[in-house]
Amino acid sequence: MIPLQVGTGVDVLGILTAIAAVIVALVVLLCLLTLGVGLRKRWVDRARTSTRRSVRGELFERRRKADPEWGRWIDALDDDQREALETVIDRYLRTVSGSERDFYVMLAGHLDLGEQAAAALKSDAVLPRQRALARLTVLDYEVSPTHLLETCVDDQRVRETAARFLYERREEYDRAQALGTAFLVWDGSEPLTARGLQTLYEFNDGNPIPLLSQARWSGTEWRTTVLTQVCDVLEQCQTTARPEWFEWLLPLFDAEEPRIRAAAIRAFKQTGWREELRADIPFRDLVGDPDPRVRRATYRVLTYWGDDRAQELLEWAVIDESDARAQLVAVRGLVSLEADPMGDHPAWPAQSWDWIRAEIETTERQRLPRQTGGVFA
Amino acid sequence: MAEEILVVEDDVDLQSLLEYTFENEGFDVTGYDNGAEAWEYLEGGGHPSAIILDLMMPGVDGMDILRRYEESEDLADIPIVVLTAWESEDTVEEAFDRGADDYVTKPFSPNELVVRVNRLMA
């Protein structure tokens, strides 16, 4: 049992009571503070909504007039009204097109939104620069590539936004594809976000020469993640580029890291079937690779090509494959290629074959009612 | 008497723009920023000449309205143009199956929307 009064004269009960009182006071203070902040935020939101409503109303009222005097009206707006008008214009620039959009670009000109955004690119912070680039994109405001290179290269997030700016405005910039690709990959030290990957793909689909060119010169210095991301993009890009553009990928098959070897074969998906390249791809090594990830990637690529030679490799792989998941990938490939089962072979994975066939048939059955409008349609 | 257009769009900025656009073309515009009120209006006897319907709305969304519209014989003659934020094949297909007559993907041209509505009402 704890003594309430110790010999030294210290009142323990008093101390505990004081501590409890302080805690209660702090909790009450915190509650009041939260309530106060919440109420203030609500008041600010209401005021903002009300200002926005009135500015929007005034905007359409003026549009009905023969001489709306946009310049005079905008000059007379206070800071809150101006901010509200900027928000409304931003909204419309993103949702409308055609002559209506041209009208809001004109109005943005009265507010100097383009000049402000171009100036904001000089900020050190990331978010203001990303916002500025987004606004410059919707405003069709001209920004020189030099200005982008001076202001947008120090951070991967800003580089990706600058690349998106160039992609959206690619008709207006001569070297948008090359510069945008350079912004995205840069020195290969920072992995790309999903948004950056999408932009990289969109820039290079159909003609990945800028990406291949950059990879050929500096791909070996890139971080593994960036290298595999670039391979993933190349996997999806349609191309008619000459085979020599892909030769830099071949040494990657000797890389120590399995994920690089797997990425390298994936990167050949759209092009590797061409005889000039196919002869250089070490398929025997790939299907015998110690890492199942590499073998799985190879089976998928072979399935995609689907010709006789690819099918033959898959058939041998199915029999020799020791990893159950990789074997399933190879089996799925063969079933989708409508290959004949080698049932008489002692190592033939009959169960996997039946499983995949049943799976594909079920998927087909599930798809059928949707395509035909349903059994009872 | 001017023809009436019902605009159902939860984005009040866009709703205002559509109201302005159609009023400017001589229509009477009734606007709602949610599907529940819009449906109440239709159930209560509202019979506009055309409906502009945003598909993505909180609560009762455009597709819910189309589902109810599909079951209502009184409203079958009203042409509906749906506004979609993205061109998803499935969504557009479903909207047409449920009675939508046309669709417009954002960003869109308000003037083109007026032309489409006029064509449907002709």
Name chain B contacts of A88, Cβ cutoff 8 Å.
13
Half-sphere exposure of A231 (CA within 13 A, CB side): 27
Residues in chain B: 122
pLDDT at A372 over 50: no
Please give the share of chain A, as a percent, with pLDDT higher than 90: 77
Which residues make Cβ contacts (< 8 Å) with residue A286, sequence separation at least 6? Answer: A253, A261, A265, A294, A295, A298
Give the closest residue to A305 by CA, choosing from A340, A341, A342, A278.
Answer: A278
Q: Does B12 touch chain A (CB under 8 A)?
A: yes
**Contact predicate A117/A136, CB 8 Å:** yes
State residue B76's pLDDT score.
86
CB contact under 8 A, B107 and A88: no
Residue A7 CA: distances (Å) to CA of A11, A16, A17, A258: 10, 17, 19, 72
Predicted pLDDT of residue A377: 35
DSSP three-state, residue A204:
helix
Report CA-CA distances (Å) from A342 to A299, A312, A314, A326.
18, 12, 12, 18
Enumerate the residues of chain B whose CB falls inside 8 A of the CB of residue A60. Answer: 16-17, 19-20
Mean pLDDT of chain A: 91
In contact, A185 and A210? CB cutoff 8 Å: no
Average confidence (pLDDT) over A354-368: 78
> Does residue A170 sit in helix, strand or coil?
coil
pLDDT score, position A363: 78
pTM exceeds cut of 0.80: no
**A236 in the Ramachandran plot: left (φ > 0), alpha (ψ -120 to 50) or beta?**
alpha
Q: Provide mean pLDDT across the span A62-78.
A: 94
In chain A, residues with a C-beta closer than 8 Å to the C-beta of B19 are 60
Segment holding A341, helix H or strand E: none
HEC readout, chain B: CCCEEEEECCCHHHHHHHHHHHHHCCCEEEEECCHHHHHHHHHCCCCCCEEEEECCCCCCCHHHHHHHHHHCCCCCCCCEEEEECCCCHHHHHHHHHCCCCEEEECCECHHHHHHHHHHHHC
CA nearest to B53, candidates B1, B120, B25? B120
Let me know: does A210 contact A243? Beta carbons within 8 Å. Answer: no
| Whole-number pLDDT of residue A6 | 54
**B86 in contact with A, Cβ within 8 Å:** no
**Closest by Cβ to A92, choosing from B13, B109, B111:** B13
User: pLDDT tens, A104-142?
Assistant: 999 999 999 999 999 999 999 999 999 999 999 999 899
Gap between the Cα atoms of A266 and A271, Å rounded: 10
Q: What is the pLDDT of residue A352?
A: 83
Closest residue by Cα to residue A286 from A305, A266, A270, A306: A266
Cα A36 to Cα A25, A33, A70, distances in angstroms: 16, 5, 39
Q: Does B65 have pLDDT greater than 70?
A: yes
Give the pLDDT of residue A289: 95
Provide the ipTM: 0.91
Q: Say what the pLDDT of residue A97 is.
A: 94
Tell me if B12 sits within 8 A of B32, measured CB to CB. Answer: no
pLDDT at A351: 82
pLDDT band at A339 (very low <50, low <70, confident <90, very high): confident
Nearest to A82 by CA among A108, A45, A105: A108
Mutation choice for A interface testing from B10, B19, B33, B109 by most A CBs within 10 A: B109
Sign of torsion over alpha carbons A268, A273, A277, A279: positive
pLDDT of B71 reads 87
* % of chain A exceeding 70 in pLDDT: 94
Lowest mean pLDDT among A87-96, B11-20, B54-63: B54-63
In a mutagenesis test of the B interface, which of A92, A102, A105 is the best target, namely the one with the most B β-carbons within 10 Å? A92
Preferred mutation among B20, B98, B104, B113 to probe A, highest tally of A CBs within 10 A: B20
pLDDT tens digits, one per residue of A149-188: 999 999 999 999 999 999 999 999 999 999 999 999 999 9
Contact across the interface for B12 and A53, Cβ inside 8 Å: yes
Measured over the CA atoms of residue A336, residue A340, residue A343 and residue A346, the dihedral's sign is: negative
Upper half-sphere CA count for residue A27 (Cβ side, 13 Å): 6
Q: CB B106 to CB A95 under 8 A?
A: yes
Q: In chain A, what residues touch B24 (CB-CB under 8 Å)?
A: 64
Q: Considering only CB atoms, which chain A residues are within 8 Å of B109?
A: 96-101
Average pLDDT for residues A280-302, to the nearest whole number? 95
The encoded tokens of residue A266 equal 């994936």
In terms of pLDDT, which residue wins out, A163 or B72?
A163
pLDDT value at residue A373: 44
Q: For residue range B15-57, what is the model confidence (pLDDT) as tens digits?
A: 999 999 999 999 999 999 999 999 999 999 999 999 999 998 9
**Sign of dihedral through CA atoms A132, A134, A135, A137?**
positive
Q: Cα separations (Å) of A278 from A115, A229, A246?
A: 53, 22, 11
The average pLDDT across B112-116 equals 95
Quick count: other Cβ atoms within 10 Å of Cβ A82? 16
pLDDT at A376: 41
Q: What's the rounded mean pLDDT across residues A89-103? A: 94
Helix (H) or strand (E) holding A376: none
Residue A46 confidence (pLDDT) above 60: yes
pLDDT of A189 strictly over 50: yes
Supply the mean pLDDT for chain B.
92
Residue B32, number of CB atoms within 10 A of its CB:
20
For residue A45, list chain B residues with Cβ-Cβ distance below 8 A: none
pLDDT at residue A273 is higher than 90: no
**Residue A71 pLDDT:** 93
Whether the predicted pLDDT of A255 surpasses 60: yes
The whole-angstrom separation of Cα A268 and Cα A245 is: 11
Pull the structure tokens for residue A169.
């405005």
State how far Cα B12 lies from the chain centre: 14
Q: Which of B86 and A103 is assigned the larger pLDDT?
A: A103
Q: What is the DSSP letter of A339?
A: P
pLDDT digits (tens, 9 = 90+) for A220-235: 899 999 999 999 999 9
